[in-house]
Amino acid sequence: MKVYKFGGASVRSADGVRNLANILSMSKDKLFVVVSAMGKTTNALEDVLDSYMQSRPAQALEKMETVKTYHLDIIGQLFADVQVGKNAVEPVFAELEAVLSAPIDAEYDKAYDRIVSYGELISTRIISTYLNECGIQNQWLDMRAVLQTDSNFREANIYMEESADRLRQAMDRQPAAIYIGQGFIGGNTQGHPTTLGREGSDYTAAVVANLLNAESVTIWKDVPGILNADPRIFPDTIHIPELTYYDAVELAYSGAQVIHPKTIKPLENKHIPLFVKPFEHPEACGSVIKASTAHPIDVPVLILRKNQILITVRPRDFSFVLEDGLSTMFTILHKHRLKISLIQSSAVTISVCVDNTRYVEDALSELHNKFKVTYNDQLELLTIRGVTPEIIARTTGNREILLMQKTRRTARFLMKSRTQTC
């Protein structure tokens, strides 16, 4: 059994879905295929949720119609008999419509998982039905019933043993050569949908591979494999054909968007290799991440994490902040699901850098209750592994640097964003 994962960018259009079908048709192995929501659907559903939670049901339904039109358009281009495609998604949209028409009965995070999980349910319904229409027989699985999680909504933790049993049972009940399941979603013990954290479909693929003792995982992406830098930002990128799990965790943590940081652990546990392959060129070799490599990375690696905010707190009474300020601050950031990308402290201040998401505002106001808080936004965090003075000069140029950390091999620079408007 091999696990394949296709992200939202790969299945954002009818052509993308046709290409997915083409890739599956070339495989001779039993496959478990994990699919994300199409294109930017998750963001669109977050907007739907916001309107719903602000008690604006008409606006929420209107935004849902836009999501529906987008999917129906893809269906229109994909299916010879459009009605077959419509029949696959109409019940799912009807369910979502019923949710949005009912009064709010849950707090934000729980409602988030109920509503935002529809993105993957819709994409997998379309893709599974389309593949069957093309003669690529497959079985759709509902990952809300398979991946059992706790109730930590928006970042649920998977119960591995329970999920392994459920997955085996679901597959034994419905034998197939190809299974199609949703990335990013699971369900708690009460049967309520949960989500695993943004961009969590890579993690789903890794967990499924672990549960099934799969031979390998392949993430199909719109890149040639893993490069030493993002080609949209840095010229002259170099392809890295092999990396260790350790390298991959470091890169992912620094903000390399090629894989989700949580992906590696379930694979490393069982020594399952992870291939990153170009969706547009399935015959190319891409990159592989595995336990060890005879070819350690010998080129500098540059990772730019955009849209960062640097938050600095100091106790109101000049007490030493590290004594208990640190844990208070981390608890607040954790509660708002903010991931720390850099930390720096002095006797009376702690500074952390996090992704500037829509949840930062709430975290800041909670921090204000405990500390004096200042922040700088519109920042970028550049991490350079295998650092040399020339690379520093070339990449940071004459940009304003707010904070810098350097070890022997790695340097990190927090800089004003280039696109800054003020």
Query: Which residues lie near ligand ASP (CB under 6 A)?
Result: 7-8, 36-37, 42, 119, 183-184, 198-201
The distance of closest approach from Cβ of residue 292 to ligand ASP in the complex, given in angstroms and rounded to an integer, is: 28
Q: Which does 261 bind (CB under 5 to 8 A by kind): ligand ASP, Mg ion, none?
A: none
Q: Is 181 in the site for Mg ion (CB under 5 A)?
A: no
The distance of closest approach from Cβ of residue 200 to ligand ASP in the complex, given in angstroms and rounded to an integer, is: 5
Of the two residues 41 and 308, which places its CB atom closer to Mg ion in the complex? 41
Of the two residues 42 and 163, which places its CB atom closer to ligand ASP in the complex? 42
Window 7 to 26, contacts with Mg ion (CB under 5 A): 7-8
Q: Which does 198 bind (CB under 5 to 8 A by kind): Mg ion, ligand ASP, none?
A: ligand ASP
> Could you tell me if 409 and 346 are in contact, meaning their C-beta atoms sit under 8 angstroms apart?
no
The distance of closest approach from Cβ of residue 16 to Mg ion in the complex, given in angstroms and rounded to an integer, is: 13
Q: Is 119 in the site for Mg ion (CB under 5 A)?
A: no
The distance of closest approach from Cβ of residue 95 to Mg ion in the complex, given in angstroms and rounded to an integer, is: 22
Residue with tokens 């015959």: 283
The distance of closest approach from Cβ of residue 199 to ligand ASP in the complex, given in angstroms and rounded to an integer, is: 4
Of the two residues 156 and 313, which places its CB atom closer to ligand ASP in the complex? 156
> Could you tell me if 223 and 258 are in contact, meaning their C-beta atoms sit under 8 angstroms apart?
yes
Of the two residues 163 and 201, which places its CB atom closer to ligand ASP in the complex? 201
Nearest-10 crossing angle of helices 57-78, 14-26? 50
Q: Which does 119 bind (CB under 5 to 8 A by kind): ligand ASP, Mg ion, none?
A: ligand ASP
The distance of closest approach from Cβ of residue 314 to ligand ASP in the complex, given in angstroms and rounded to an integer, is: 34
Residues 108 and 110: their CA atoms lie apart, in Å, by: 6
Of the two residues 113 and 199, which places its CB atom closer to ligand ASP in the complex? 199
Of the two residues 12 and 290, which places its CB atom closer to Mg ion in the complex? 12
Q: Which does 184 bind (CB under 5 to 8 A by kind): ligand ASP, Mg ion, none?
A: ligand ASP
Q: Which residue is nearest to ligand ASP, using beta carbons?
A: 201
Q: Which does 200 bind (CB under 5 to 8 A by kind): Mg ion, ligand ASP, none?
A: ligand ASP
Residues 354 and 356: their CA atoms lie apart, in Å, by: 6
Q: Is 182 in the site for Mg ion (CB under 5 A)?
A: no
Of the two residues 155 and 242, which places its CB atom closer to ligand ASP in the complex? 155
- Binding residue for Mg ion, selected from 10, 19, 36, 138, defined by CB under 5 A: 36
Residues in contact with Mg ion by the rule CB under 5 A: 7-8, 36
